[in-house]
A and B are shown apart, each in its own frame.
Chain A
Amino acid sequence: MKKVPLFFGFSLLAVLLQLIVAPWLTIQGIKPDFPLVLILFVAILFGRVYGQLYGFGFGLIVDLIGMGSFLGLSALAKTIAGFLAGYLKDKRSRLNGFTFYTFVCFIIFIHYLVFFLINFHSAEYPVQFIVFRYILPDTLYTAVFFIVSDYIFSIEKI
């Protein structure tokens, strides 16, 4: 229960970062997803159930304040990301850094795959275009912020 205010604090921080800082970090339309980084942290620390619940709740908030054209899309993508990241619970110390971060990148990739394929379903973009123009750059950019956050806060020690 003591962690509840901490959750709220970090959630608010992630929202503020996304609203205020992320636009400044945007490169060619690609920006980091701070709420996703936090969801991955929560899921890796607390497992699949908390990960997906937090992903859904936070995704819905992001949808509501984030002004996406599809309400519920972030909730869906982040639920899946939270669920998948939950598999990495207690694995941080067992896996070497490269393997662990590869799994994290894969989860972020799945998150963006779900997000962009639904978001662009009515557009006539080829899938490979969506993957190379949006999904991969967003995945790598967000992964960098995850790795930096892990380096600063260290999941292993929390």
Chain B
Amino acid sequence: MWRKIVIFLFDYHDYLLLILLVILSFSILFLNEVPEMRSLQGEVADLFAFIHYPGIWLNDLSGLLQENEMLRQENMQLKLQNIEFMEAYRENWRLKRLLGFMDSTAYTIVPAKVINRGTSPVANSILLNVGKKLGIAPNQAVISTKGIIGKTIAVGDRTAQCQVFSDVNFRLSVKFQNSRVLGLVMWQANGMAIAREIPLTAEIHPGELVLTSGYSEIYPPNIVVGEVVEVQRVENEPYQSAVIRSYANLNTVEEVFVIISY
């Protein structure tokens, strides 16, 4: 009996190994959301980040890096404040006060550079040159001066991995600035994002600004996402969809900001 088993194992060892490795791969896939896994991914990305540092060092040789970063940070804060003010004008402030809303413009942001776009055949994430040492943690919003970029998912000491908005598995809660209707946005293969299942009663028009809704622990409200380029309605369907063009160019973005508190 044992002899037969040994012979069987010997004869089919390559197939058995394949089954074992496939099971192992699926196990890792299913463990993806375990924080320890993401932490490990962050640490390894950290380890390999040194490859990109000479290039970054050359870019920063001008010596104006610190001043530049400060100015960008200030610029970013002013832009965010500006968006907040515009929003405030559009809303009924009296009702806001009655509801006990607090105006908050005190974003704490950390400027970061994109040092790598990954080895994956699809643009799922980018690697940033900031990590735990600067207060970065998983699930923090990443933005650029033009709008939303994504969120941090795995963080090492000096690097952070950011899942970008163009990842097909990324979902973002948004609101349409004029109609105030909410939607859940996902990326499409044509380079646009789409918000589905918007009630037909909501009047959405091309050109309308799309902002983060704020109904999320990750993204503060009123961060620009993009603008509506097309409204799709299907006959006899109770819902409509809005095609959204992202303002931020996710393929070429080089400098971003991580919102560490708001």
Contact surface of A with B, Cβ cutoff 8 Å: 15-16, 18-20, 22-23, 29-31, 33, 35, 47-49, 52-53, 56, 59-76, 79-80, 83, 86, 112, 115-116, 118-120, 122-123, 125, 129, 133-134, 138
Contact = CB atoms under 8 A, between A and B. Distances in A.
Contacts of A118: 29
Contact of B120 (A47, A53, A68, A72): A68
Contacts of A33: 119, 121
B258 interface: no
A67 B118 contact: yes
A67 B126 contact: yes
A64 B13 contact: no
A49 B14 contact: yes
A119 B32 contact: no
B35 to A, nearest CB: 12
B45 A72 contact: no
Interface of B: 13-14, 17-18, 21-22, 24-29, 31-32, 37-38, 40-41, 44-45, 47-48, 51-52, 116-127, 153-154, 161, 163, 167-169, 186-187, 189, 251
B120 A120 contact: no
Chain A contact residues: over half helix, strand or loop, or mixed? helix
A65 B48 contact: yes
Contacts of A23: 117
> B31, B51, B126, B153: which has the most chain A beta carbons within 10 Å?
B51
Contact of B121 (A19, A31, A64, A67): A31
Nearest to B120: A68
Contacts of A74: 119-120
B168 A19 contact: no
Contact of A67 (B18, B161, B187): B161
A52 B168 contact: no
A62 B52 CA distance: 16
B124 A75 contact: no
